[in-house]
Amino acid sequence: MTLALSRVDYTTVGVTSRGTTIIFPPNEATRQPQKFAVADHDGVLHIYGMKRGELQLSFKSLPGPKIQRIVLGGSIGMVKDKIFIAYGSSVKGFTRKGKLFLEFDTSLIDPISAMYVLGPDLAACARDLYHRYRDCKDADSYLTGETLHDVVLLPGDGNVMYAILACADCAVRVLHGTSSPTVLRLPSAPTVLSIYREGEIYSRDRVLVGTADGRVGLLILQGNKTLRVTWLLTSTGSEITSLDTHQLQDGIDILIGRQDGGVEVYTFPDEDVSSTLRYHYNAGESISTVVGGIIGVANYPEVLVTTYSGRVFGLTTSPPGLLEAGQSDVGLARLKLEIQQLQEKLNEEKESSNFMPDPLAPLILAVNHKMVLHKEDASYCLSVELDASIDNILIQSDTPVDLLETESNSAVVSLSACDPREGNFVLATYRCQINTNRLEMRLRSIEGQAGTLQIYVTSQIQPKRCRKISVPIYALSLHVRQHDDDDTASSGPFNELKLNGNFTIAEMHAWLSLALPDVPERPHIHEGEAVLVYISSFIGTVLKCKYKKGSALFLGENISTIIILRDILTKEATKRKMKLDVFCEVAEGSVSRVLELILPRLNAAYDLIQKIKILDALGEWELQSNPRENLCSEYQELLEKETEIRSLMAKDTEILNRLHAIITDLYVDWERAKRSRRISSIEATAKLKDALESRDLATILQIFIGKADVSVPTLIPAAI
């Protein structure tokens, strides 16, 4: 059953972080409007409430440090009506009327990124450290070594408390005291945790989890204190930024906020019925918080939404234009007053525009950006967001990157000529339309060529302001980190790179963070050794890194990966004047393994291009009007699937050239590692040209190995 919700704008505050809006529980068991609180980056806490049909500000704190999180707390079994805000490494507590009753310094080194309060217990996360306090005294802590995205507390028997941690290594950890946590692996990194609730009754064993790839699951804490996950939404999409449960009409609904500005309402599934989408709305900027309650009109629940730029609005179930009895005259008078206030504000702005701002006063532009790798097509999605309208975005790169088309991107792109000899490979300008706060761009890097992406964001508001963002592009940027209990399904053979020298685990870990993405905050050391496993999102080859004090071993199916790592690590050791003993052992069968993975995609890409050529030819000859009379069955089938074929081609128009380039680089690196001979890419391309056109594994292997008789394994066809 679909929902009919209408938007009601309430107020605007400063830039907000995730989880910085809460709704107070009602004073009584009635369906009257509830108060809500919003905190922003200006350090201001606002408490609003409806009075006589008008939103009124009941409390506003003085500006201060940036507020990262706001949660409700209270005694166990009682109504949660106390506000706790986290700023820096400190926590403050306020009553619902705005009276300060707690000021607590957690003594954490890093700023608090996630917080939860349950009775006398306060859980705070700072980067990769979890710490729990009871009555403002240390209770327990845990160093995960991975970035912590969120935390919730669940009560156990007696004074037992269970902490549920959302970690960046695609895991949810259950922590009980100082014992080792129980780990539940997820297909993507969890970003949000929200305890399932029905009204003001919070579950003791059920927690909603949202992931970076847009899935939503229900975590159930079982009797043996392990977690079980049931996926409610399995389709992937934009990152989940906020979750809540509330009864909007009939039954409990799941409220979802996403990074791309989407607000969605799904039914909570029963045993036999799965979740269904009831409502979707796009706010045009990332969602900071969604929470359910009654705000504007009594007896009409709604979804209270806060966006990144600080807009607070409701998606209400009340019919549009609904006014309570006797409110029509009051509403008309209020509108007239608002028009008068806006006119006065406009006059003030016109008068103040004659005065020049202080040139020494810094004007800081708040920018929210993120670059995420899409494993499906091995491309990056770069999103840039401002708290004001974007005028243009300038992108400059000192390494080759391909800018790809994005359906949701309505900006006009202009490419400028660049001179690679000056270290300038890409210079592009995105000119945005009016009232564009958020822009998404897609790009693809080339492995082996590290660099920095410089992004210059300019706002439309006067005076013009610009903010520079630097995003590193790693040498092995298309590799995705796997985990210890993941099945990499690797059969080898592996090329080996051994390094011996006077380096520590921390130094080697820091060097690897320059070459590989998503390297954890701290190395996970087991029996004196740290292990990292990566898989190429484009080819599918595996890289294993094992390192300890004084020695490191790298196993890679792709010799190109090993050569790239060797160059980077030896370069870093040379910078520090550190002697390294380097041993590289090449596996003869590794080339065959890589080609087995590439050639099926090469054949699929070639077939796709041939189909596109046939479709283009049919269009030129105007034979599409009566396909049954003019064409054979094969071409008729092509015309039926034309939309699907062209959409596949649109995802990666240069797929064939990319695959050819990978095989060419593989040959260049093979010659370096196997025969200690350097050849240019031009020479390698000329030598491989005929073999690549034949797409025959034996012919290509003959060039690599140099033998006329080469045994060839059976290839399995693959789609692009």
For 6-320, which CATH class? mainly beta
| Distance, CA of 149 to CA of 615 (rounded, Å) | 48
Q: Is the pLDDT of residue 488 over 90?
A: no
* Position 484 pLDDT exceeds 70: no
Encode pLDDT of 115-135 as tens digits.
999 989 999 999 999 999 999
For 670, the enclosing helix (H) or strand (E) is helix 655-675
pLDDT of residue 426: 92
Task: Specify the CATH class of 367-473 in words.
Answer: mainly beta
Model confidence, pTM: 0.86
Task: Indicate the range of 177-191, 442-456, 647-661 predicted with least confidence.
Answer: 647-661
Quote the pLDDT of residue 676: 80
Q: How many CB atoms lie within 10 A of CB 676?
A: 8
What residues have CB less than 8 Å from 196, skipping those under 6 apart? 202, 203, 206, 207, 208, 218, 245
pLDDT band at 623; cut points 50, 70, 90: low
| Confidence band, pLDDT 50/70/90 cuts, at residue 59 | very high
Residues pairing with 368 in the sheet = 385
Residues 506-535 have a mean pLDDT of 91
Q: Do domains 6-320 and 367-473 have the same CATH topology?
A: no
Q: Are 478 and 411 in contact (CB under 8 A)?
A: no
pLDDT at 717 over 50: no
What's the chain's average pLDDT? 86
Q: Indicate the residue type of 568.
A: I
Side-chain-facing half-sphere of 277: CA atoms under 13 Å: 11
For CA atoms 138, 140, 144, 149, the dihedral sign is negative
Beta strands 82-87 and 67-73 are: antiparallel
pLDDT digits (tens, 9 = 90+) for 155-172: 888 788 899 999 998 999
Q: What is the pLDDT confidence band of residue 470, given thresholds at 50, 70 and 90?
A: very high
Q: What is the pLDDT of residues 577-602, one digit of tens each?
A: 899 999 999 988 888 889 988 888 88
In the structure, what pLDDT confidence band is assigned to residue 455 with cuts at 50, 70 and 90? very high
Task: Note the pLDDT of residue 461.
Answer: 81
CATH topology of domain 479-585: Double Stranded RNA Binding Domain (3.30.160)
Q: What is the mean pLDDT of residues 250-273?
A: 88
Q: What pLDDT sits at residue 350? A: 65
Higher-confidence residue of 360 and 503: namely 503
Average pLDDT over residues 611-627: 70
Q: What is the pLDDT of residue 326?
A: 46
Under the banding of pLDDT at 50, 70 and 90, the label for residue 704 is confident
Tokens representing 313 are 């609005």
User: Quick one: tokens of 587?
Assistant: 């596996």
Q: State what percent of residues in the chain have pLDDT above 70.
A: 91
SS3 of 294-328? CCCCCCCCEEEEEECCCEEEEEECCCCCCCCCCCH
691 falls in which pLDDT band (50, 70, 90)?
Answer: confident
d(CA 231, CA 210): 10
Predicted confidence (pLDDT) per residue in 670-684, tens digit: 888 887 888 888 888
- Whether the per-residue pLDDT at 689 is higher than 60: the answer is yes
Span 500-516, average pLDDT: 93
Does the pLDDT value for residue 708 go beyond 60?
no
Is 80 exceeded by the pLDDT of residue 635? no
Question: Where along the chain do its domains lie?
Answer: 6-320, 367-473, 479-585, 590-705
pLDDT at 715 (0 to 100)? 46
List of E strands, 572-626: 580-585
Most confident of 58-67, 373-382, 622-631, 698-707: 58-67
Instruction: Identify any residues that bridge with 163 across adjacent strands, giving them in sequence order.
Output: 153, 175
* Percent of the chain residues topping a pLDDT of 90: 46
CA atoms of 598 and 426, how far apart (whole Å): 28
Lowest-pLDDT choice from 55-64, 81-90, 584-593, 670-679? 670-679
The reported pLDDT for the residue numbered 714 is: 47
What is the pLDDT averaged over residues 371-380?
Answer: 88
pLDDT of residue 196: 93
Query: Which pLDDT value is given to residue 329?
Result: 63
Asked whether the predicted pLDDT for residue 418 surpasses 90, the reply is no
Q: Assess contact for 397 and 472: CB atoms under 8 A.
A: no
In whole angstroms, what is the distance from residue 255 CA to residue 322 CA? 24
In which band, very low, low, confident or very high, does the pLDDT at 702 lie, cut at 50, 70 and 90? Answer: confident
Least confident of 78-92, 291-305, 616-630: 616-630
Q: Average pLDDT for residues 395-405, to the nearest whole number?
A: 91
CB 189 within 8 A of CB 482: no
